[in-house]
Amino acid sequence: MTVHPFIEAEKTAGHKVKRACELFQVSRTAYYARRNGVPGPR
């Protein structure tokens, strides 16, 4: 399961991406890279 849609929903609701990433234990770099469609190194 990916948490990125949940982080996006939190952002849309006016909450900070930093806090949502901390709660889901996801780096902000990974969130924005996935959001922008940049493939990972693996």
The tens digit of pLDDT for each residue in 1-42 reads: 678 889 889 889 999 999 999 998 989 988 888 888 866 677
Reduced to 3 states, what is the DSSP secondary structure of residue 35?
helix
**Cβ distance 35 to 4 under 8 Å?**
yes
Can you give the pLDDT at residue 32?
87
Reduced to 3 states, what is the DSSP secondary structure of residue 29?
helix
- Joined tokens for residue 28: 């902000």
Can you give the pLDDT at residue 25?
92
Can you give the pLDDT at residue 1?
64
The tens digit of pLDDT for each residue in 13-24 reads: 999 999 999 998
